[in-house]
Structure 1
């Protein structure tokens, strides 16, 4: 059975809100939704321009521009609706969906990559010492590992256990 756009939109609201972490996951879901709605083209196609002053516009040109404007509005609305309230307020300025999308890609893909690099570095360079309790340091290390899962970075459990054992203080 083929669903109507309003039915698809209702299901869209069930999508988890983008909180600023794992943009690639949000990107894929949003791209699928916008493709399904046949509006994703506004992220790659410039807005049709008005003809020069004094030249009569055809009805086809007017309709193309109006369709693009409507699809852009739908895209921007869905992209914004997919964000957490905090991000919604931060990114509500761009006029067009493409500007918004480019801003999100630039900011959050770069942020995801750099935060993952720091996580790996933090985990690899973590050293336990005798000045603090082993339990406290173990919990700190588990916190770093928990962030791995949050970023969908998988690490074999045997490697995690082996790494933690290697990080235990000599005592």
Structure 2
């Protein structure tokens, strides 16, 4: 047995992850051929039987009692492996459609960090692949790009329209850089700036209710005026004209870079331009 301690599969944890780790152990022990049944022509029957016994024992010892009761009748490592796949891999059409719908509607959860979001996203991709769809990787970059919240619409537009192609690693790297900069910079910002960055711009104060209502009314009028002004002041990255964004621009693509237009996303503008947009333009 390998020195690696694999968590026993109990039928409730992620089977695909357990299976990959179990495969790694069998390969390390040089007995995965017992599962794949891909032996060289000159191997003896005795060696095949020996490999099968070792592989079978390695797999069965990493299963919980409840799972063993469901698969214990299998006689070989290959049969045991295939039975586990049959029981714990969803390949039905309804399951595939459910996963695809969840995939294409995926949105980043701002209450979680980037790593947790990406872990959830990649697990979804892995589950779809287990249904037999290996082409899902082609759509992953644009789906993750569209998963970025609408408050960063200018960032998405810049990535979409100022680059011939976008890969998953580029988007993930950019998101992580923004997250790191936010963690180091938010403590120095005031209360209202932090709320704006987090997408929670509701007014908060510890004053009495009367003052709070009065303050909210005044702020509401101010915000309404600001919103009207912003709508009239929107500017295109491509032609540098007001009144529309780059995705609606009918002018010939110029590659013009307008740093100040990124201010539409507020406090994040500097980080987005330096860490996410500029590397994309330069590549």
Gapped runs of 5+ residues in structure 1? 1-5, 49-59, 125-148, 163-171
Contact 1:47 1:69 in 2 (8 A): no
Distance 2:52 2:59 in 1: 10
Q: Secondary structure at the match of 2:120?
A: coil
| Distance 1:111-1:18 versus aligned 2 partners, 3 A rule | farther
The number of residues matched between the two structures is: 109
**Is 1:153 matched up with 2:130?**
no
Q: Which residue of 2 aligns with 1:16?
A: 7
Q: Calculate the TM-score normalised by the size of structure 2.
A: 0.32
Q: Which residue of 2 aligns with 1:139?
A: none
Between 1 and 2, higher relative CO (CA 8 Å, sep ≥ 6) is seen in 1
Residue from 56, 59, 63 that aligns with 1:76: 56
Superposed CA RMSD in Å reads 3.9
Gapped runs of 5+ residues in structure 2? 106-115, 125-146, 150-198, 200-283
Structural mapping, 1:50-69, within 5 Å: 64-69=44-49
Residue from 26, 47, 59 that aligns with 1:34: 26
Distance 2:70 2:91 in 1: 16
Distance 2:49 2:37 in 1: 12
Distance 2:85 2:18 in 1: 10
Structure 1 segments (4+ residues) deviating >2 Å: 111-115, 152-156
Larger Rg: 2
Q: Which residue of 2 aligns with 1:101?
A: 81
Q: Calculate the TM-score normalised by the size of structure 1.
A: 0.50
